[in-house]
Amino acid sequence: MKVDDGQVISMHYTLHVDGQVVDSSEGGEPLQFIQGMGHIIPGLEHELYDMNIGDSKKVVVAPKDGYGETNAEAFMDVPRGSFPPNVPLKAGTELELRDQADHPVYARIEAVSDTNVRLNMNHPLAGKELHFDVKIADIRQATDEEISHGHVHSGEHNH
C-alpha cells in the first residue's frame, strides 16, 4: 500500500531548521494524519505520495510551501506599559494574545526599547527552509467517519 489521499499515515519525522533539530517524533509515537486533507504543510505532504511502509526520505521544503515567507506587515509596536509585570520583556519571549474577536494569536517579542515592545506575529518558522527526515511507519485506509470529521481517531479502528 502506497501513500495516497484518504489514508491515515503514521510517520516518524525529524525537522531541522538552520542546522538545529526543532521538532521530532524520535522516541515517541509517530505523527498521524489523513493524507490529502492539508493536515501537514503542503511541501511535505506532496513529497509523501507513493512512499511505502518502511520507506525513508529527506525532504527540503521552501518557505512558500511550508510556513510562508516572513510577512513584513505581521509586526506590531506595543507600548511597554501595556504588558503585565509578569511578562519577561526580552527578545524571544513567546506570548499568546487575543485579537478583537477573542481568538488566540501567537506572537513573540522581536525587540524591546525604552518605550515600546516590537511583536512579531509571523509563525516562528516563517521564511525558513525546512529539512525533514521522514519514515513511513504505517498506512491504513481512513474510515468514513475520520474522513467526514477530517481527523484521525486514534485507537478506535480495527485492523
The correct CATH number of 75-120 out of 2.60.40, 2.40.10, 3.30.40, 1.10.150 is: 2.40.10
Interval 90-113: pLDDT, tens = 999 999 888 889 988 889 999 999
What does pTM read for this prediction?
0.81
> Which pLDDT belongs to residue 155?
62
> Which pLDDT belongs to residue 98?
85
> Which pLDDT belongs to residue 3?
97
Same fold flag, 7-67+127-149 and 75-120 = no
Interval 35-60: pLDDT, tens = 999 999 999 999 999 999 999 999 99
CATH of domain 7-67+127-149: 3.10.50.40
Q: Show the cell assigned to 62.
A: 521552501
- Cα distance between residue 23 and residue 72, in whole Å: 26
Average pLDDT of the chain, as a whole number: 93
- Cα distance between residue 117 and residue 115, in whole Å: 7
Nearest CA to 130 among 60, 58, 47? 60
For residue 48, give every residue at least 6 positions away whose Cβ sits within 8 Å of its Cβ, in sequence order, or none: 3, 9, 11, 35, 57, 134, 136
Q: Where are the domains of the chain?
A: 7-67+127-149, 75-120
